[in-house]
Amino acid sequence: MDFEKLSAPSLKELFIQQLETMILSGKLPVGEKLPPERELAHNMQVSRTVVNGGITELARKGFLTIKPRIGTFVADYRRNGTIETLISIMNYNGGILRDDEIRSILELRLGLDTLAINLCIPKITEEELSILKEKVDFLKTAHTPEEASIIAFEFQHELACLSGNTLMPLIFSSFRIPVTTLWERFCRLYGIEALHNNTLTLFQHIEAKDTQKALNWLTTSINDTIQGNRPIYY
């Protein structure tokens, strides 16, 4: 068995982790002004370079707002954050999303998949169908929830690519971590076979080029995980 090399986080990474934790826990509420960088460096016993780099990174991730000559403030990260903000929230919660975050991701996926299906089915070729079918077959033989979730994501991503919309695959890729996390949870609750059956049924409707049945099944299966018989949050 191979073991990965362990490496200690840098002071900058530790600074970022500590401030993220303080923000996400509410110790640093939205709108709070941070002390000056010199004071933060002194209190946390790190260099100003570490503080400055950490603040810049936290601002990029949506947790802080830097106002030149005024100060640095805790941002409304849920309103103005990025996908990296969501990943930080997941890490803070031990990889667990809150119920409203799960519901929001599923609703977003429903919207994106609906567009992909509408664009894809009228022009999909036999060769493209074989690519999707291969992923469905791989999903059936997946051995772990982690493996199954990755294959299910690849099926969705391929569907986005086949839509012809050049931005959609990029949007899907940005949600890779939270989406695969949800499918892992689904598989642990209901089994890999349930995820395979959902994906297979959708593929069969796409193969038959029946847009309405594909959309109906998509809506039914996703709503089932939101508020139906197979919820993945409580």
CATH fold match for the domains 11-84 and 97-227: no
3-state secondary structure of 64: strand
Q: Summarize pLDDT for 144-202 with one digit per residue, the tens.
A: 999 999 999 999 999 999 999 999 998 888 888 888 888 998 999 999 999 999 999 99
Residue 86 near residue 101 (C-beta atoms within 8 A): yes
Phi, psi of 124 (to 5 degrees): -70, 140
Bigger pLDDT: 28 vs 88: 28
Element spanning 198, H or E: helix 192-207
Alpha-carbon distances, residue 72 vs 6, 11, 203 (angstroms): 34, 20, 50
Element spanning 191, H or E: none
- State percent of the chain over pLDDT 90: 63
Could you list the beta-strand ranges (E) of the chain. 64-67, 71-74
Do the strands 64-67 and 71-74 form a parallel or antiparallel pair, or are they unpaired? antiparallel
Residue entry with tokens 């970022």: 16
Q: For the chain, what are the domain ranges?
A: 11-84, 97-227
CATH number for the domain formed by residue range(s) 11-84 = 1.10.10.10
Rounded distance, CA 79 to CA 89, Å? Answer: 13
Q: What tokens were used for 11?
A: 């002071």
Residue 211 near residue 118 (C-beta atoms within 8 A): yes
Nearest to 92 by CA among 26, 46, 32: 26
pTM score, whole prediction:
0.72
User: Is residue 1 over pLDDT 80?
Assistant: no
Q: At what angle do helices 48-60 and 37-44 cross, to 10 degrees?
A: 110
Q: How does the average pLDDT of the chain come out, rounded? A: 89
Exposed, middle or buried: residue 102 (CB in 10 Å: 0-12, 13-18, 19+)?
buried
Exposed, middle or buried: residue 45 (CB in 10 Å: 0-12, 13-18, 19+)?
exposed
Going by pLDDT thresholds of 50, 70 and 90, the confidence category of residue 6 is low
Residue entry with tokens 């640095």: 72
CATH number for the domain formed by residue range(s) 97-227 = 1.20.120.530
Residue 11 near residue 48 (C-beta atoms within 8 A): no
